[in-house]
Amino acid sequence: MKRGFLAAAFAALVVPSIAVAGTTTLVPGVRYERQVRLIGGSGVVLHILRAPRHGGLHWLRPVLSNGTVLGRETVPTMERRVSRRATVAGVNGDFFRFDTGQPTSVFLRDGVLANRPHPKRSSLGIAFDGRLVVNRFAYSGSWQAAGYVEHPLEEFNRRLRHPPGVALYTPKWGGVTPRGRTVRDVVLKSFPRVLPNGYQTGKVVGVRRGGGTTVPRGGAVLQARGSWSDVLVREARPGTLVTVHISLRNLPGDVADAIGGGPLLVRNGRAAAAPSSNTVSMWASSSRRRPPSATGRPPTRRPTTMSPRGSAPGWGRWRSTSHPPASKRAWHRSATRFTPSVV
């Protein structure tokens, strides 16, 4: 599975408990707790992980399923894959498309961008000093062929939803570029990894029609649709240098890891404003909602992550449209709380 955090989880976390089933120390400093709480007259099981602040021997890191934007992978499989380097405990992350595995929002690890943020959803950034930064990291991009003016880059590792336009695909995409009748692909070589707020330059080595291009290792593909196809082919000829700039506004300079999800429900120990109707309707669009996860930092500065157990059609839809308990207890008086949406 992919990554994510959903407001639905918070409603489940702030109502009175029915019972505490027990606490287990997984490794020194990391505890697992199983609780049962009453939600709408029914018992909901919560799985809770409490860990030290990020840094030193304990790290809070996002993990991308299969190492690519496309594709799905179960959490246990992901844990086994990274457990060769460390002892791992994890939960689902950002909500994603069930058919393709495409995450909804940002994925940033070690300063390398794999997926851009959603404009209407908060994201979680993990700073070098262990701070959890919750904000909307606004995306903008541009591309420019040598000798020509700069043009907008509408998408990054994501299919263009509203052509015409231009999108960039890197090896982190994990598949061939989208196909289409008016599509033109420009293949770049010697293209560095995409670092937010930086400039990356590659050399054009080929032009293809119709899409379906495999992104080369150490390269990238610029894809144009509609009227932008003629512009891209005319300016980005073979042998031309093309420079791409991708900006994430509001991303602090000391944040090298970030994951999508949202929204922010608790700020400085108080319930935050309700999410926008656009955000809620997007969550409610999926009848395959599964129990969501949530993470945050209580006043003790020990990050806490939890996920409910079980699933049923409409469960997440019902949670995502009401948050009255959050205003009463603000989920254990957390300083910061962020919800990942999961399937």
DSSP code string of 153-187: --EESS--SSSSEEEEE-GGG-SBPPP-TT-EEEE
pLDDT score for 19: 52
pLDDT in tens, 155-192: 999 999 889 999 999 999 999 999 999 999 999 999 99
Residues 6+ apart with CB under 8 A from 291: 9, 307, 308, 309, 310, 311, 315, 316, 342
In 3D, which of 246, 274, 250 has the Cα closest to residue 262? 274
> What value does the mean pLDDT of the chain take?
79
pLDDT of 108 strictly over 70: yes
Amino acid at 216: P
**Percent of the chain clearing pLDDT 70 (strictly above):** 71
First to last CA, the chain: 8
pLDDT of 120 strictly over 80: yes
- Of the pLDDT bands very low, low, confident and very high (cuts 50, 70, 90), residue 281 is very low
**298 vs 82 pLDDT, higher one:** 82
What SS3 state is found at 327?
helix
Tally of CB atoms within 10 A around 170? 25
Which of 6-20, 27-41, 44-58, 203-217: highest mean pLDDT? 203-217
